[in-house]
Amino acid sequence: MRRTPALIVGGGPAGASAAIVLARAGLPHLLVERARETGDALCGGFLSWRTLDSLASLGIDPQALGPARVTRVRLLAGDKVVEASLPRRAHAVSRRHLDRLLLARAEAAGAAIERGVTVKTIESRAARLADGTEIAADALFLASGKHDIRGLARPESARGKDPTLGLRVRLGPSPALDRMIGDAIELHLFDRGYAGIVLQEDGTANLCMAVHRSRLTEAGDPERLLDALGCELPSLGERLAWRVAGGGIDAVANIPYGWRAQRGEAGLFRLGDQAGVIPSLAGEGMGIAIASGIRAAGAYATGGAPAAMVFQQRLARDLFRPIGVAGLIRDGAESPRIARTVLPIARAAPFLIEIVARLTRIGHDRAGA
């Protein structure tokens, strides 16, 4: 059995952020990531102004993220469209590019990283790998994103009776698509789901969709669902016309939106989606991942493995408002009747959108949360 004082499971934004902080502090650790090469994860794409502040604290220059600035949010429901300015400029970036930047920063800081390592189960702070070997640690940083690991899986009850699935397709690049979307992040609202679209640093647009299983079941399969939505929502159909040929549809099942890890365990730091799952329409999933990684590593640097319990309780408290507000907005967005009633109000008072945007943010330090 191998041993390490601190084991980080997952090399996405949460795990890489924790590794950067631990490496800077000179604390021995090991980050294991199952992918040998950095891929393009399904979620992500939008980085709020708070997230940019967190990245800056890690030494990531916003200029390195590419040219895709985001200054507006655009809501579309049926034939109604509402647009408002964001409180501060945000950014859009592919997960492939973001993850590469963060892991490179971690390596430059001296982080110990092993790739192509799959953790199958975790028990008593020991991770059993796919090859049968084990790595034991005093402190475990669980940063596996939406993927649960046996032994520390989130509860089945968190998924609900009609669970949500995530779908992602890539659009463009195309000058026509650039003109449609511009410097906005779009939210297309429909019955039992919504789709977010934003242009990224490589000129393509990332379309991420959260849809209840019942809606997908009615359509038959993801391709038929996209076809149906393209007909139901002409604006969404115009954008879907620019799907990358042969690009396929990425999917993840049973996303437990609204769940939070409210109780801590000695030596276990839950990060990102393993700590709390905010509805994706808030655009703060990456913010929570990065902020939780920074906070957890800081807590460990100060108080060691026992600091995990207080860290988790404080993070759960700080996530209560963003996740709660995003959940209320999601409930309304997935009801066409409510969405079409609320949008004219938002058009008359666009500052309401700005207030919601502020209420669903989290910072990397408690003062900024």
pLDDT of residue 16: 98
Report pLDDT for 363: 82
User: In whole angstroms, what is the distance from residue 32 CA to residue 11 CA?
Assistant: 7
Q: Are strands 69-77 and 80-92 parallel, antiparallel or unpaired?
A: antiparallel
**β 126-129/164-171 pair status:** unpaired
On the question of pLDDT at 108 being above 70, the answer is: yes
Provide the percentage of residues in the chain whose pLDDT is more than 90: 81
Which residue, among 303, 302, 301, 305, has the nearest Cα to 269 in the 3D structure? 305
Which residue type does 183 have? D
Question: Higher pLDDT residue, 40 or 276?
Answer: 276
Residue 168 included in any domain: no
In a domain, residue 145? The reply is yes
Tokens 């997952």 sit at which residue? Answer: 10
Q: Check if the beta carbon of residue 233 is closer than 8 Å to that of residue 253.
A: no
**Helix boundaries (H) for 119-274:** 175-181, 213-219, 222-232, 234-240
Is residue 129 a part of any domain in this protein? yes
Judged on CB neighbours under 10 Å (0-12, 13-18, 19+), 64 is: middle
pLDDT of 369 reads 34
Q: Of 54, 40, 55, which Cα lies nearest the Cα of 200? A: 40
Q: Considering the domain boundaries, does residue 357 fall inside one? A: no
Confidence band of 368 (pLDDT split at 50, 70, 90): very low
Q: How far apart are CA 297 and CA 278, in angstroms?
A: 21
pLDDT of residue 78: 84
Alpha helices, DSSP H, located in 93-201: 95-109, 175-181
Would you say residue 78 lies in a domain? Answer: no
Distance CA(8)–CA(303), nearest Å, equals 17
Average pLDDT on 44-73 reads 93
**Residue range(s) defining the domain that contains residue 152:** 2-66+94-158+258-334+362-368
| Burial category of 21 from C-beta neighbours within 10 Å (exposed 0-12, middle 13-18, buried 19 and up) | buried
Residues 269-296 have a mean pLDDT of 96
The answer to whether residue 252 sits within a structural domain is no
347 pLDDT band, cuts 50/70/90, is confident
The mean pLDDT of 42-54, rounded to a whole number, is: 88
* Residue 131 in domain: yes
Number of folded domains that form the chain: 1
Q: Which residue has the higher pLDDT, 298 or 348?
A: 298
CA distance 302 to 337: 50
Burial 176-200 (b: 16+ CB within 10 A, else e): ebeebbebbbbbbbbbbbbbbbbbb
Q: Cα(80)–Cα(95) distance, rounded to whole angstroms?
A: 31
> For residue 18, what is the domain's CATH number?
3.50.50.60
The tokens describing 137, both together, are: 């640690």
Q: Is residue 231 part of a domain?
A: no
Q: Which residues contact 183 (CB under 8 A, 6 or more apart)?
A: 69, 70, 71, 72, 199
- The pTM score is 0.94
In this predicted model, what pLDDT tens digit does every residue of 197-233 receive, in sequence order?
999 999 999 999 999 999 999 999 999 999 999 999 9
pLDDT category at 353 given cuts 50, 70, 90 is confident
